[in-house]
Amino acid sequence: MDTIHEPKFVWLIWSLILIVVWALVYAFLKSKESRKEMLVVSFWTALFGITEPLFVPEYWNPPSLFDLAHQTGFDIESFIFSFGIGGIAVVIYERIFRTVHARMTKHEQHRSRHQYHLLALSSAPALLFVLIVATSLNPIYSAIIAMVVGGIATWYCRPDLKKKMLVSAFIFLMIYFIYFLTLIALYPGYVDQVWNIKDISGIIIVGIPLEELLFAFSFGFIWSSIYEHIAWRKIDNNI
Q: Is the dihedral of CA 1, 183, 48, 200 positive or negative?
A: negative
What is the C-alpha separation between 174 and 218, in angstroms, rounded? 12
Average pLDDT of span 7-21: 92
Q: What is the mean pLDDT of the chain?
A: 90
What is the C-alpha separation between 59 and 202, in angstroms, rounded? 12
Give pLDDT tens digits for 51-91. Answer: 999 999 999 999 998 988 888 888 999 999 999 999 999 99
Average pLDDT of span 168-182: 97
Q: For residues 215 and 143, is the Cβ–Cβ distance under 8 A? A: yes
234 — pLDDT class (breaks 50, 70, 90): confident
Phi then psi dihedrals of residue 195, to 5 deg:
-75, 145
Average pLDDT of span 90-95: 91
Q: For residues 159 and 220, is the Cβ–Cβ distance under 8 A? A: no
What is the C-alpha separation between 143 and 3, in angstroms, rounded? 34
Give pLDDT tens digits for 109-159. Answer: 556 666 777 888 899 999 999 999 999 999 999 999 999 999 999 999 888
What is the C-alpha separation between 171 and 166, in angstroms, rounded? 9
Q: For residues 197 and 209, is the Cβ–Cβ distance under 8 A? A: yes
Is it the case that residue 194 has pLDDT exceeding 90?
yes
Is it the case that residue 102 has pLDDT exceeding 80?
no
Tell me the CA distances in angstroms from 183 to 13, 64, 65, 135, one per residue in order: 9, 15, 17, 31
